[in-house]
């Protein structure tokens, strides 16, 4: 017996040089004046000037909003929405990783629906359509350019709110791997591991469907193959394959949602401002081990990909696969212990209690109490 699945994917322009479509697509969506959301780091790369030239060629106007910070907060977004209205913008465009893109989504939401971000926390709370959105991901990981998700921190409560709605899927995603050439090694790693976490969690999610599962598996395969090569040689070919992986994983998680690992990661990010991509190398494997009893066949499929073969049983393939994932994470230049990114061990119980309210936990294949999540966090302290 199957459920009803709803699949929503933006129009995608994919490939090197596809950024040239930023102008014509905006024009096609009726743009006159664009609110352009990015961050100061990206401004320094020169990409913004290149995009503005493309917009100029279409006689488009734009206003910049580039004061975006990591783990964006609702207050910053309200400021962006004021700017959007005040300047009479009609389209939101964003070049960025997750933070600028989620900020852009929040701005589009408030500009059209009013109120404050907190009003829309959770699934399917947005009533009115958003202004057209065109996103250009500058990293291969977050997938906000594809997904129904926006993750925004409530500055008062210090928690990350998951806002989930099909209206948060941008109209157009322009995935140009050329942007990845200016990513630091650290950013390539944390982004790719974020995409890997999306692929794994969406694959075992309670909402996984045949239309998302192939995407998850493809992403896993590509990341395991191309991340080491991308780090070693910095060639566009491998970076492009990471972009394909990230896009595939995003199509999967946008429509199948995620699981416990992301619930804890959101809680850590909201309460302690921990960088999202640093959390997965630590928590991904132990969460898979926790989920193993209820989805051993699926984790065995993951194992078959990462091991390159099937062992004698599903159980042994799955367990060996998780171990191999730990080796893979350890081989990257990132920590695999929670103590290195969280200053105060005493905060962990509250972190896990708050994670209970995260929407991602609803689709984790195995139910969990906050104490069980705490035990996982303690194991990897």
Residue of 140, 187, 223, 244 that binds a second copy (CB under 8 A): 244
**380, 283 contact by CB (below 8 A):** yes
Residue of 99, 241, 291, 364 that binds a second copy (CB under 8 A): 241
* Binding-residue pattern over the window 153 to 192 for a second copy, x denoting contact by CB under 8 A: -------------x--------------------------
Backbone angles phi, psi at 176, to 5 degrees: -105, 110
Minimum distance of a second copy from residue 318's CB (angstroms) = 22
**Is 75 near a second copy (CB under 8 A)?**
no
Minimum distance of a second copy from residue 376's CB (angstroms) = 32
Segment lying near a second copy (by CB under 8 A), choices 4-12, 111-119, 154-162, 192-200: 4-12
In degrees, rounded to 5, the angle at the alpha carbon of residue 371 between the alpha carbons of residues 370 and 375 is: 115
Minimum distance of a second copy from residue 57's CB (angstroms) = 17
Q: Is the Cβ of residue 172 or residue 268 nearer to a second copy in the bound state?
A: 172
**Is 9 near a second copy (CB under 8 A)?**
yes
Going by the DSSP 8-state scheme, the letter that residue 133 receives in this structure is E
Segment lying near a second copy (by CB under 8 A), choices 95-103, 210-218, 259-267, 346-354: 210-218
Q: Is the Cβ of residue 226 or residue 262 nearer to a second copy in the bound state?
A: 226
| C-alpha–C-alpha distance, residues 186 and 183, integer Å | 8
**173, 13 contact by CB (below 8 A):** yes
Residue of 7, 24, 75, 330 that binds a second copy (CB under 8 A): 7
Residue of 240, 261, 314, 358 that binds a second copy (CB under 8 A): 240
**Is 6 near a second copy (CB under 8 A)?**
yes
Minimum distance of a second copy from residue 312's CB (angstroms) = 20
Residues of span 323-342 touching a second copy by CB under 8 A: none
**219, 252 contact by CB (below 8 A):** yes
Q: Is the Cβ of residue 2 or residue 346 nearer to a second copy in the bound state?
A: 2
- The Cβ of residue 154 has, within 10 Å, a number of other Cβ atoms equal to 17
Residue of 75, 181, 214, 356 that binds a second copy (CB under 8 A): 214
**Is 138 near a second copy (CB under 8 A)?**
no
**Is 4 near a second copy (CB under 8 A)?**
yes
Minimum distance of a second copy from residue 148's CB (angstroms) = 11
Residues of span 17-46 touching a second copy by CB under 8 A: 17-18, 21
| C-alpha–C-alpha distance, residues 51 and 46, integer Å | 9
Minimum distance of a second copy from residue 248's CB (angstroms) = 7
Minimum distance of a second copy from residue 174's CB (angstroms) = 10
Q: Residue 356 to residues 31, 58, 126, 264, 361: CA-CA distances in angstroms? A: 41, 48, 23, 8, 7
DSSP bridge pairs for 137? 96
Backbone angles phi, psi at 246, to 5 degrees: -65, -40
Residue of 94, 144, 147, 248 that binds a second copy (CB under 8 A): 248
| C-alpha–C-alpha distance, residues 250 and 143, integer Å | 5
In degrees, rounded to 5, the angle at the alpha carbon of residue 164 between the alpha carbons of residues 268 and 157 is: 40
DSSP string, 227-282: HHHHHHH--HHHHHHHHHHHHHHHHHHHHH---HHHHHHHHHHHHH---HHHHHHH
In degrees, rounded to 5, the angle at the alpha carbon of residue 362 between the alpha carbons of residues 381 and 260 is: 15
CA Rg, the chain, in Å? 20
**Is 5 near a second copy (CB under 8 A)?**
yes
Q: Residue 52 to residues 12, 43, 55: CA-CA distances in angstroms? A: 20, 11, 5
| C-alpha–C-alpha distance, residues 104 and 65, integer Å | 9
Minimum distance of a second copy from residue 165's CB (angstroms) = 12
Segment lying near a second copy (by CB under 8 A), choices 2-10, 50-58, 68-76, 154-162: 2-10
Q: Is the Cβ of residue 153 or residue 247 nearer to a second copy in the bound state?
A: 247
List interacting residues with a second copy (CB under 8 A): 2-9, 11-18, 21, 166, 209-211, 214-215, 218, 222, 240-241, 244, 247-248
């Amino acid at each position: 017996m199957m459920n009803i699945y709803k699949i929503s994917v933006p129009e995608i322009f994919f490939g090197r040089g596809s950024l040239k479509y930023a102008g014509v697509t905006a024009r096609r969506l009726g743009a006159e004046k664009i609110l352009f959301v990015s961050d100061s780091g990206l401004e320094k790369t020169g990409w913004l000037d290149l995009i503005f030239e493309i917009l100029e060629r279409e006689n488009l106007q734009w206003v910049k909003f580039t004061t975006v910070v990591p783990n964006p907060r609702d207050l910053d977004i309200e400021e962006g929405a004021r700017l959007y209205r005040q300047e009479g913008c009609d389209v939101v465009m964003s070049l960025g990783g997750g933070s600028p893109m989620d900020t852009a989504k929040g701005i589009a939401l408030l500009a059209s629906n009013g109120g404050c971000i907190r009003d829309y926390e959770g699934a399917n709370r947005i009533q009115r359509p958003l202004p057209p959105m065109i996103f250009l991901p500058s990293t291969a990981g977050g997938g906000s350019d594809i997904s129904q998700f926006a993750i925004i921190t409530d500055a008062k409560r210090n928690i990350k709110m998951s806002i989930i709605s099909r209206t948060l899927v941008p109209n157009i995603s322009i995935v140009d791997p050329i942007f990845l050439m200016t990513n630091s090694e650290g950013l390539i790693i944390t982004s790719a591991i974020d995409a890997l976490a999306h692929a794994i969690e969406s694959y075992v999610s309670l909402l996984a469907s045949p239309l998302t599962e192939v995407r998850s598996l493809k992403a896993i395969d590509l990341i395991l193959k191309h991340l080491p090569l991308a780090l070693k040689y910095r060639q566009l070919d491998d970076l492009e394959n990471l972009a394909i992986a990230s896009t595939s994983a995003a199509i999967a998680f946008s429509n199948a949602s995620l699981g416990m690992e992301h619930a804890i990661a959101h809680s850590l990010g909201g309460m302690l401002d921990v960088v999202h991509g640093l959390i997965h190398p630590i928590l991904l494997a132990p969460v898979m081990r926790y989920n193993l009893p209820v989805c051993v066949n699926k984790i065995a499929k993951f194992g078959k990909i990462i091991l390159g073969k099937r062992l004698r049983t599903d159980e042994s393939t799955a367990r060996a696969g998780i171990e191999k994932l730990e080796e893979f994470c350890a081989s990257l230049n990132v920590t695999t212990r929670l103590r290195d990114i969280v200053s105060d061990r005493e905060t962990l119980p509250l972190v896990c209690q708050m994670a209970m309210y995260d929407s991602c936990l609803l689709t984790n294949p195995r139910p969990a109490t906050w104490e069980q999540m705490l035990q996982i966090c303690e194991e990897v302290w």
